[in-house]
Chain A
């Protein structure tokens, strides 16, 4: 079996369907570990995972750190706010310092698109993109795909609506690519101002009307309304957005009985999702959080633990 040959995970774009499926399949193994009385294995003992977050995060950072610890890796944590960046140290110097402390893998989040890619070029360590600006957030897409696969068996033939601020969403970009590669049909639902100017070439359908779409879908994937967008004048007011695109109890009743409701978090209750809908039995929002740890364990293991270098000296004959 060919385990991921690449050093880093930077985007869903450029990955093959086979690679995605391999990660999803391997995640079952790590999901089982999470349910053990002592959810820890020694697989990455002696390896160090550093999280470099130039932007705030709860879920992504905590789930990467939890995943690393469950594999017995050591963790190092860097936050832009409390670092020497404020003294004028560059990102490149920061990365070199962290590498000098022995980090084998860097988990990077940055508000500018392409930062993870640049860091990957500077370092011999593995790099995982944990969100770069409006570009991509590949581990979120993988955990979303894993959650849907767990509930629905497969993504093949599923009709998935992604609702909200598509224009600024790295989650939407990665999700569209991953979902469609795995055989799902994707509909983007948003006001025209929140859609990217050019979606030509994207394997998607577009709609401005959530009510029309709801009865036809298997999954309703809601995105967070980012407060800063209101100030940019892209939506007239929060109330108008809620009226047209907020998933309230009445709208949720138009969804098929076996549909799923997803949200990458953090949720704005009362805006894109009504509090009562977040508690709907069809909501898998907390499942997504739990699966985030399992999928990140699989990715860390593939990048650090599949031991490409070890293999050259492996004593094949002594293997039983």
Chain B
């Protein structure tokens, strides 16, 4: 989703064209259910857990995880959103979107944060998110949940919860929404 927007925003231009559907909406629901159970298992419940969705693609993933965690646990953990645009190392190469808001209203000191994002690729977004989160407090632990891990890491970062490991070529683009995961390309 985020990639579709960026793909269409200048200076990137072009339109996302899907070549293959990797997961359909039911597959996504099953993956979310499994990841939610893993989160509860690993943290022995949801005490002090805070879910943070990365703008813009990770927000839907965080919301779906929250919904699943509510079914398991009765209530879902506090939910926040984070825009890392101003913390990126490639700032200026992509637009800052005013609609991508940061909203973290809970105290992060001592919290176990689960960052949720749609696609894990180079790891640079997560690096920026780790920096940004440390400006909000001192979490006890930060974990990472992603719907798709497509490989090609450029930093020593690994996910804790993965919806789907998807081998890709660098020129391919992965699009995640609640309807499904598509593999495709930006056509000019």
- Is A307 on the interface with B (CB-CB < 8 A)? yes
- Is A305 on the interface with B (CB-CB < 8 A)? yes
Task: For A314, give its contact among B93, B102, B186 (CB under 8 Å).
Answer: B93
Known contacts A37-B137, A41-B86; is-contact A307 B91 (Cβ 8 Å): yes
Chain A residues near B122 (CB-CB < 8 A)? 318, 320
Chain A residues near B119 (CB-CB < 8 A)? 320
By CB atoms of chain A within 10 A, which of B90, B91, B137, B171 has the most? B91
Known contacts A26-B98, A29-B96, A43-B86; is-contact A305 B10 (Cβ 8 Å): no
Task: For A311, give its contact among B93, B100, B150, B171 (CB under 8 Å).
Answer: B93
- Is B9 on the interface with A (CB-CB < 8 A)? yes
Known contacts A1-B9, A37-B136; is-contact A317 B101 (Cβ 8 Å): no
- Tell me the nearest residue of chain A to B100, going by C-beta: A29
Chain B residues near A33 (CB-CB < 8 A)? 86, 102
Q: Is the CB of A311 within 8 A of B137?
A: no
- Nearest chain B CB to A45's CB is how many angstroms away? 9
Please measure, in the bound complex, the distance between the C-alpha atom of A310 and the C-alpha atom of B94, giving whole angstroms. 10
Contact with B along A294-315 (1 / 0, CB 8 A): 0000000100011110110010
Known contacts A32-B102, A38-B135; is-contact A26 B96 (Cβ 8 Å): yes
Please measure, in the bound complex, the distance between the C-alpha atom of A32 and the C-alpha atom of B96, giving whole angstroms. 14
Contact with B along A181-217 (1 / 0, CB 8 A): 0000000000000000000000000000000000000
Contact with B along A5-30 (1 / 0, CB 8 A): 00000000000000000000110110
Chain B contact residues: over half helix, strand or loop, or mixed? loop
Please measure, in the bound complex, the distance between the C-alpha atom of A28 and the C-alpha atom of B100, giving whole angstroms. 10
Chain B residues near A319 (CB-CB < 8 A)? 3, 6, 12, 90, 93-94
Q: Which of B1-55 contact A (CB under 8 A)?
A: 3, 6, 9-12
Known contacts A29-B101, A32-B101, A320-B3; is-contact A2 B10 (Cβ 8 Å): yes
Please measure, in the bound complex, the distance between the C-alpha atom of A219 and the C-alpha atom of B182, giving whole angstroms. 52
- Tell me the nearest residue of chain B to A313, going by C-beta: B93
Please measure, in the bound complex, the distance between the C-alpha atom of A126 and the C-alpha atom of B49, giving whole angstroms. 45
By CB atoms of chain B within 10 A, which of A29, A38, A307, A314 has the most? A29
Known pairs A1-B9, A42-B87. 12 more at Cβ < 8 A? Answer: A1-B97, A28-B98, A32-B103, A37-B135, A42-B131, A306-B96, A307-B92, A314-B94, A319-B6, A319-B12, A320-B121, A320-B125
Residues in chain B within 8 A of chain A (CB atoms): 3, 6, 9-12, 83, 86-87, 90-98, 100-103, 119, 121-122, 125, 131-132, 135-137, 150, 170-171, 173-174, 186
Residues in chain A within 8 A of chain B (CB atoms): 1-3, 25-26, 28-29, 32-33, 36-38, 40-43, 71, 301, 305-308, 310-311, 314, 316-320
